[in-house]
Chains A and B, each alone.
Chain A
Amino acid sequence: MKRYLNFFIAFFAIQGYLYAAEAGMPQLNPKYWASQGFWLILIFTILYFSISKFYLPKIKNNLDDRENRIKDDIEDANKSKELSESKLKEYQKILEDAKKEVIKIQLESKAKSDKDINEKKEKIEKEIEKELVQAQKEIAELKKNSISDIHNISKEIVANIIENLSGDKLNESSIKAAVEEISKKNVGKYL
């Protein structure tokens, strides 16, 4: 390899001497080759060490920090998301329970009120019936009483009329018999 290299350098050195004068290619003029090599090695070495010891670790740290930060943030976000999802589920459960409760309460209160209404209705109906029976009884009694009252009144009226017309006093029992007969015939008309 070294021979190859030597050959290469020698070749270019000769070429350089040949062409530098003719075609003017300053690259092939070996006058400053050593100087360029020296300064290149010196400057590149300084550049390499300052980059590798100083700048690259800084950039790497910063990039790593950012990556970690992003990872942490994503983790946090995922945690928050899970938390909010569980909270949402809880909330929905509470809501559902409340709805069920509402339906239950509604049904219960409806049943209760229905029962109440029915009870009251029955009670009132019973009272009404009772009063109806009472009233019918009263009416029947009143009817009975009124008939005997009418009989008595009629009897008196008839006795008075006959006395006033003829001046005679008729037998009370005969008047009674007559009134009763007539009233029996006509009682259907009035009652």
Chain B
Amino acid sequence: MANNPMQQFSVHKIGPEIKIAGVDLSFTNASLFMIISASIILLFLFLGTKEKKIIPDKIQLIAEMFYSFVAKMISDTAGSKAKPYFPFIFSLFMFVLFCNMVGMLPYSFTVTSHIIVTLILALFIFIAVTIIGFAKHGFKYLSIFVPSGVPAVLLPLITVIEIISYLSRPVSLSVRLFANMMAGHTMLKVFGGFVISLGLLGGWLPLGFSVALTGLEILVAFLQAYVFAILTCIYLNDALNLHH
């Protein structure tokens, strides 16, 4: 069972079963690692903001770098109107990033490798963006589906395509993150298994691959968090500044 590369993704209950209105809401290893990631974020931010120094120390500098990084990302992609949503995007980016990074530790659990987690985040973003769009622009928000400068003959087709692409946003957003995380971790596990099964003679090559993949996966962990956040910014930009 331990040789199964999918074993690492299995969710199991920790502690007693919690059932509310017939729905199983038990505390699981997934919940545990969500709490661990959130605690690391909060601890990191606590240490980063503990002392207000004019010349920051290392941890304060890193916290401020995260702040400026996300602030720049938002102002670059969604403009100044998106400022009220900065805390959400910041929290989102940090949560996804730290879940991904914590998942890189051996024997840990990757929260974002579960489609349900990424799908809930993506659906929340999708619904929120749609509500913001309608709240800001009313029914004019529907013009997002009708790009300007398109020949009248093509317009119905383009509109249908636009609607489909809009509706598939939560799917693409969630599947991208989930699939990247799952594939990377599965690969790591497979190569790790090769190291064991090929033994002292043949195990060196997959070990090298494993090391290289670990580096790649850390990059992917950061990149996917960034992509998730920046796509949220882009969707927000569509809702805030009606460009089409």
Q: Which residues of A contact B (CB under 8 A)?
A: 1, 4-5, 8, 12, 23-41, 43-44, 46-48, 50-52, 55-56, 58-63, 65-66, 69
Contacts and interface: CB of A to CB of B under 8 A. Distances in A.
Interface stretch (B3-11, B212-220, B229-237): B3-11
Nearest to A37: B120
Nearest to A55: B45
B187 interface: no
B236 to A, nearest CB: 16
Interface of B: 4, 6-7, 9-11, 13, 18, 23-28, 30-31, 34-35, 38, 41-42, 45-46, 48-49, 52, 54, 60, 63-64, 67-68, 86-88, 90-91, 94-95, 111, 113-117, 120-121, 123, 167, 171, 178, 182
B120 A27 contact: no
Given A33-B116, A36-B114, A59-B63, 5 more contacts: A24-B6, A39-B30, A47-B38, A50-B42, A55-B45
A63 B4 CA distance: 49
A24 B4 contact: yes
A59 B35 contact: no
Q: Give chain A's interface secondary structure class.
A: helix
Contact of B25 (A1, A38, A52, A62): A38
A27 B25 contact: no
B66 to A, nearest CB: 9
B6 A1 contact: no
B167 to A, nearest CB: 6
A36 B91 CA distance: 18
A24 B11 CA distance: 12
A147 B88 CA distance: 140
Contacts of B23: 34, 38
A61 B63 CA distance: 13
B95 to A, nearest CB: 6
Contacts of A5: 123
Among A28, A40, A44, A61, the most chain B Cβ lie within 10 Å of the Cβ of A40
A29 B7 CA distance: 13
A4 to B, nearest CB: 6
A8 B42 CA distance: 34
A48 B88 contact: yes
Given A27-B116, A62-B49, A65-B52, A52 B30 contact: no
A61 B178 CA distance: 36
A43 B6 contact: no
Contacts of A62: 49, 52, 60, 64
12 contacts: A36-B116, A38-B25, A39-B34, A47-B41, A47-B94, A48-B87, A51-B91, A51-B94, A55-B49, A58-B52, A59-B45, A65-B54
